[in-house]
Structure 1
Amino acid sequence: MSSATAKYRHALPLFDGGTFLTDGGLETSLIFHQGVDLPHFASFVLLDSEDGRAKLRAYHEDYLAIAKARGTGFVLDSATWRANADWGALLGYDAAALRRVNHVAIAELERLRAKWERPSTPCVISGAIGPRGDGYKAGKMDAAEAEAYHAPQIAAFADSAADMVSAFTLTNIDEAIGIARAAKALGMPCVVSFTVETDGRLVTGRSLREAIETVDRETGAYPIYYMINCAHPTHFEGALEAGEAWVKRIHGVRANASAKSHQELDESETLDAGDPVDLGARYRALRKSFPTMRVLGGCCGTDHRHVAAICEACLPPVALSA
């Protein structure tokens, strides 16, 4: 594949105003709602079978239908959160196999975009990157190690139709710096998304402010924006300060359905889907205080019902045709 096939890489519509939706908790939806076995929480293994690819397409189409009905944009994130070297090795994927599966993931999103995109619903394709280790624990890499580790996956996305890359559930500031530097070296627009504990801080104890300001300082503010994911709004809303420059760099939220801590969720054998209506109301309050937050979706425990409730709470009513 060639980066020439990337539709929006050099002119992302995310900055043209309006709201963009994303999906919800892919892995938790597949495991708890559909009974799909995802070893090591890795959804990318589904890309190796037609049945698995069909499940991923059906999953995304539930959300794309909401975006089409509401006339919003959509960010299509690939099923590649675990598709990096260490997790791949646990699942029998070497470097060549990982490069192939990352390409397949983007090709699947190209097919969805061709089917669902409309002038009122631009669809941006994002290559999803996860942390090297557990998204609930502190990583130990320095920035140089992180840049070298994540570069192969970002290179695979650069040689595809991906418009950008998004690194989710990061707990380590140095890992975020390394990812942003690798993306910069490969010419890929980059989003960095941190997760926080119930006190609004990274698991390392460092604040969101420190995380965002440090990554910006060390990378020349390379990330196009930041997000918060895999935490409930009650965990981070108190850590945000209206009007602060660093908060204005946060353009997206993908919250958990549950207000439980990461440790509680890790130990739970059942899904806590929370209250979609309450989650929507919390998103509405966040948007009122922080209007730069225009990329909205969910994370663990959420599904299309939560994203629909977020739309209902945050977007104006849809005009009925005569």
Structure 2
Amino acid sequence: GLEDGRLPESWVLEQPDRVRALHRSYVQAGSELVLTCTLGGTRFRLAHEGLEGRATELNRRAAELARQAAGDDAFVAGDMGPTGQILAPLGPLAAAEAADGYAEQAAALVEGGVDFLLVETLSDLAEARAAVEGARRVTDLPIFVTFSFDTHGRTMMGVRPAQAAQEMAPLVQGLGANCGRDPDEYPGFLEAMAAAAPGTILWAKPNAGLPHLEGDLVVYDASPASMAEVALRLRQAGAQVIGGCCGTTPAHIAAMSLSLGC
């Protein structure tokens, strides 16, 4: 498997067959949508492994791999995540520079054949706006944005679900929540977003429960059956796009798909 501390995106160039096979395993489990292996695909994150100069190549190739695996069976979302830096004035990265990096990533993902873009696991509204601005420079494809809320109902930067919806709904085709902590808190996040931005398409992509260590491995504690129940609650709360984030295996997806009648 992937060595501890390495970027998953490195496998796009080093282990493309394995990345393609992973995508395909989720499609075969019932996924109607797969994400490219590019959450950390901006030049800023890729710099951790000296890959910033290959950002266009890597993102384009990642989109091609996901497209090949999905075929006509699933949609492909170009996955874009945090830069890993704090934006000015609180941090060193200017919003304009962040937008340039997102534009570079989005252009490559579109060239590789994605159906739309998902900017996820965000904490900062300024970074969210920079991502959407950069992506919109290079494509008219739909853009969706999801934030990561913790157990206090805020992101790491203090953003509440209603605030995220009010700020971002006019700029994107849909929004929601991903990652974070307890899936049981997601209905509240979704209800707050729906109230703040009526009619918006809502996404929900919680982790498969809470993580714990088993030896050297991080294991998530939600069973496929429990995630199937979560999926039903998410739909009742208004989610129209439902999936899983960290710890979600093809077995989880199969159970969720079955429970939703997909």
User: Could you tell me the TM-score, scaled by structure 2's length?
Assistant: 0.85
Aligned pair 1:234/2:184, yes or no? yes
Which residue of structure 1 aligns with residue 36 of structure 2? 78
* Structure 2 counterpart of 1:305, one-letter code: A
Asked whether the equivalents of residues 168 and 192 of structure 1 are also in contact (C-alpha less than 8 Å), the reply is yes
> What's the CA shift for 1:46?
0.9
Does 1:45 pair with 2:3?
Answer: no
CA RMSD of aligned residues (A): 2.6
Closer, same or farther: CA 134–233 of 1 in aligned 2, 3 Å:
farther
Where do 1:1-322 residues align within 5 Å? 35-37=1-3, 39-40=5-6, 42-49=7-14, 52-67=15-30, 74-95=32-53, 97-114=54-71, 117=72, 121=73, 123-133=74-84, 140=91, 143-187=95-139, 188-216=141-169, 221-231=170-180, 232-241=182-191, 244-246=195-197, 248-259=199-210, 269-290=217-238, 293-315=239-261
Gaps of 5+ in 1: 1-34, 68-72, 317-322
Q: For the residues of structure 1 that align with 2:223 and 2:52, how far apart are their CA atoms?
A: 41
Paired amino acid for 2:226: D
Question: 1:79 & 1:191 partners in 2: Cα distance?
Answer: 17
Aligned residue type for 1:53: P
The whole-number CA distance in structure 1 between the counterparts of 2:163 and 2:197 is 9
**Relative to 1, partners in 2 of residues 1:314 and 1:58: Cα closer, same or farther, differing over 3 Å?**
same
Q: Retained in 1: the 8 A contact 2:118–2:145?
A: yes
How big is each residue's C-alpha offset from its partner over 1:187-220, in whole Å with a ceiling of 9 and x where there is no partner?
232111111101221112221110121123xxxx
* Percent identity over paired residues: 24
* Equivalent residues of 2:39, 2:80 under 8 A apart: yes
Larger radius of gyration: 1
Structure with higher RCO (Cα < 8 A, 6+ apart): 1
Choose 168-177 or 304-313, whichever is displaced more: 304-313
Q: Name whichever of 146-155 and 166-175 sits farther off.
A: 146-155
Residues 155 and 240 (structure 1 numbering): CA distance in 2 closer, same or farther, change over 3 Å? closer
Q: Deviations over 1:40-78 (max 9, x none)?
A: 4x22111223xx1221122122221132xxxxx722211
Consecutive unaligned residues of structure 2, counting only runs of 5 or more, are none
Whichever residue aligns with residue 193 of structure 1, its letter is T
Contact 1:198-1:236 at 8 Å conserved across structures: no
Q: TM-score, normalised by structure 1?
A: 0.71
In 2, Cα distance between the equivalents of 1:134 and 1:303?
A: 29
Contact kept, 8 Å, 2:208 with 2:223, in 1: the verdict is yes
Alpha-carbon distance, 1:142 to partner: 6.1
Which amino acid in the other structure matches residue 78 of structure 1? T
Shift, 1:178, TM fit: 1.0
